[in-house]
Amino acid sequence: MIYRFKFSEATDMKEVEGTVGLAFIAAGCLIGEARLRLDAANAISHEKKMVVMRASGDCECVLMLFVGMCSHEYGAESFTVERVKEIDSPAQEPL
């Protein structure tokens, strides 16, 4: 599954980037780093205030961890989440 997270203008994207890293560390502890590296990925745009994350199977826990961490750190109103259709080619990147 692919999800796009859009953050408010007031949100510091350097902080969000750190939160992405923490979510991946926590998920790696739960399911194993190798599995996470194979079945999950992310892209961050500081300019667009956006994070795109892809995860499948057990690796979807990284999505839940990220949402929970962002809700606690920045507030649930500071970001939106939408599910993105699967991409056929890199030219269709959802960022």
From first to last of its 95 residues, the chain has per-residue pLDDT tens of 999 999 999 999 999 999 999 999 999 999 999 999 999 999 999 999 999 999 999 999 999 999 999 999 999 999 999 999 876 545 455 65
- Find all residues with CB under 8 Å of 52, minimum gap 6, and list them: 2, 3, 4, 5, 42, 43, 44, 84, 93, 94, 95
Rounded distance, CA 31 to CA 15, Å? 24
Dig out the tokens for 93 from the structure. Answer: 């990147």
Contact 27, 40 (CB under 8 A): yes
pTM of the model: 0.88
